[in-house]
Structure 1
Amino acid sequence: MNEQGPVQIRCPVLTVRRVDAYYAITVVAPGIAERFRAGQFVSVAVGGEQSSTLLRRPFAIHDVKPDYGGTVEFLFSVRGQGTAWLSERRSRDLLDIVGPLGRPFPLPRDPVNCVLAGGGSGAAPLFPLALSLRRRGCRVDFVLGAASADRVFSAITARRVAETATFTTDDGSFGVHGAVTDALGRVIEDARSDVVYSCGPMPMLREVTAVASAHGIPVQVAVEETMACGTGLCMTCVIPVVGEDGITRMVRTCMDGPVFRGERVRFDDVGTIPFDALGAPGWKAHHDSDVTDREAG
């Protein structure tokens, strides 16, 4: 993570624009822009100063630019009162934002072939990642999917940035009829990819991880998990992840993630505390049993 750490800023809104089915807000936030690394997010207060809406909303950072001293753009869909309020912001309104938060995508030391797979608005953090990878001499191929054509994010930019860009939609209204994972294997083979980076809904990330594993290449996933605070205090965003030592721990998505090695995330157990997770009821008995079995073997 960036050693400078996050900052809390009251940021003036520069623009609010519609991007097909989404909204994109650009704010002037030089302190966040200069610290940002691809994969990190911001936590935004919604509802205004007199609002009873206490919880912030997390949004992946889609773009940063040096304009106006440093601007930050994030993407969202209107899903409730908080995001509806955000969609009504206008230029010069102030937003209370904390960021950048979370661990960024790790970048390869040497030039390699990278596939970036995104689902819906989950594709947003993959675009600054693509630029970072290109600056390191990496080949970038996009596979972007969504439910329908209006939810495939930034297809024109994807075509411009990447070597190839493949699009999928559930209803067949744009690109290939099907899911991201229906096209991912072919792209990996055609591009001779060395690594997959992905962001999107949990079920998609699970399938992307399975495809990457089947092709014998690593995968880095930025998980989408509900976050109430974004700073590691509330523990609402914990998911089970297997550590280097083989032990499953309930880790905080906002602090230990949102980027994880895909094969270490126990996707089937998300939303639960597995019996063999460190600190879970019965963990000690299970651990002691494993130790006994190894000693007997």
Structure 2
Amino acid sequence: MQVTGTVLTTRRVDAYHALTVVAPGIAERYRPGHFVSVAVGGAYTSMVTRRAFSIHDVKSDYGGTVELVFTAGGPGTAWLAERRARDTLDLVGPLGRPFPLPRDPAHCVLVGAEYGSAVLFPLADALLARGCRVDFVLGAAGAERVFGAMRARRLAETTTLTTEDGSLGVRGKVTDALPAVIADTRADVVYACAPMETLRAVTAVAMEFDIPVQVAVEESMACGIGVCMTCVLPIIGDDGVTRMVRACVEGSVFRGEQVRFEDVGTIPFDALGAPGGGVRHVS
């Protein structure tokens, strides 16, 4: 649904910005892993495409609020970072396919890098409500970019932190620590949200342990509703056939082993409907 939401609060969380927006209809329909698309730039902007944001938190306050966490990395997000309480935003959501939850209690390892970790906290709440065990592995380049370390420690049985510069936790990447966490916790499933290269490595680790992995991919989304086709990526179906699917509609959550990470950004020659003669890059 499309709503006009009122900004309730704004805050800084280390290197990131967080906006809490009153959006009752979206909050009511939300499930962990859903996202929203937000119009940026104001009424007379030249920035005509929306920006997609995962939802970090949902509360029943004021009829229903959603919190978005992001980094100001371009003109659209820079504009959003300047919003203040009582400003209004045009949001469409909840969008996408949420994380599937285990039918029975399971041991779940949640892996997040940078602000991709934000989407994992409502997932952790949902898993705990089902009697699951939750363990976190969170990482980033440096300490100021690790999101949610304190909250993770409150929620999880264990929380492992990694930084590439060694400023917090273990020096290295989340995938360096992941094998030991899976083994120590006897994990049944891995959930992950991170940049694509990290998701590729997380999937490889999970496959080594022969456990399922659910990944929320980070792809550019201009519309969020499956029209613009900017977020297509090659996915192997249950029938073994590769299809180009839209991350915003068929995802953004996929089974990790079905994503052809090495071919993201291309149309593989063996994809259904692809032109012959090799791999074609998409713009």
Query: Could you tell me which residue of structure 1 aligns to residue 169 of structure 2?
Result: 175
What is the CA distance between 1:47 and its match in structure 2? 0.4
Match of 2:94 among 100, 107, 110: 100
Match of 1:83 among 77, 81, 84: 77
Q: Per the alignment, in what secondary structure is the counterpart of residue 255 of structure 1?
A: coil
AA partner of residue 281 (structure 1): P
In structure 2, distance between residues paired with 1:139 and 1:72 = 25
In structure 1, distance between residues paired with 2:58 and 2:179 = 31
In structure 2, distance between residues paired with 1:150 and 1:252 = 33
AA partner of residue 26 (structure 1): T
Q: Per the alignment, in what secondary structure is the counterpart of residue 34 of structure 1?
A: helix
In structure 1, distance between residues paired with 2:81 and 2:112 = 23
Deviations 1:154-199 (A, max 9, x none): 1100000111000000101000000000000000000000000000
Q: Per the alignment, in what secondary structure is the counterpart of residue 42 of structure 2?
A: coil
CA radius of gyration, larger in: 1
Question: Unaligned 5+ residue runs, structure 1?
Answer: 1-6, 284-297
Query: Could you tell me which residue of structure 2 aligns to residue 115 of structure 1?
Result: 109
**Residue 211 in structure 1 maps to residue 230 in structure 2:** no
In structure 1, distance between residues paired with 2:157 and 2:24 = 31
AA partner of residue 100 (structure 2): P
AA partner of residue 217 (structure 1): I
- Cα RMSD, aligned residues only: 0.7
In structure 1, distance between residues paired with 2:76 and 2:210 = 42
AA partner of residue 80 (structure 2): L
In structure 1, distance between residues paired with 2:74 and 2:242 = 34
Deviations 1:130-156 (A, max 9, x none): 000000000000000101000000110
Query: Could you tell me which residue of structure 2 aligns to residue 228 of structure 1?
Result: 222
Match of 2:155 among 161, 166, 169: 161
Deviations 1:5-28 (A, max 9, x none): xx1001000011000000000000
Q: Per the alignment, in what secondary structure is the counterpart of residue 216 of structure 2?
A: strand
AA partner of residue 150 (structure 1): E
In structure 2, distance between residues paired with 1:205 and 1:81 = 27
**Residue 20 in structure 1 maps to residue 7 in structure 2:** no
Q: Per the alignment, in what secondary structure is the counterpart of residue 256 of structure 1?
A: coil
What is the CA distance between 1:50 and its match in structure 2? 1.0
What is the CA distance between 1:274 and its match in structure 2? 0.2
In structure 1, distance between residues paired with 2:82 and 2:245 = 35
What is the CA distance between 1:203 and its match in structure 2? 0.2
In structure 2, distance between residues paired with 1:161 and 1:27 = 24
In structure 1, distance between residues paired with 2:236 and 2:25 = 34
Match of 2:251 among 237, 241, 257: 257
TM-score (norm 1): 0.93
AA partner of residue 165 (structure 2): D
Identity %: 70
- Give 1:4-15 correspondences, 5 Å limit: 7-15=1-9
AA partner of residue 152 (structure 1): V
In structure 2, distance between residues paired with 1:159 and 1:96 = 34
Query: Could you tell me which residue of structure 2 aligns to residue 202 of structure 1?
Result: 196
In structure 2, distance between residues paired with 1:137 and 1:12 = 35
Find runs of 4+ consecutive structure 1 residues off by over 6 angstroms. Answer: none
What is the CA distance between 1:282 and its match in structure 2? 2.4
In structure 2, distance between residues paired with 1:83 and 1:264 = 31
In structure 2, distance between residues paired with 1:194 and 1:282 = 40
Query: Could you tell me which residue of structure 1 aligns to residue 185 of structure 2?
Result: 191
- Give 1:12-161 correspondences, 5 Å limit: 12-161=6-155
Deviations 1:72-118 (A, max 9, x none): 00100011111111111010000000010000000000000000000
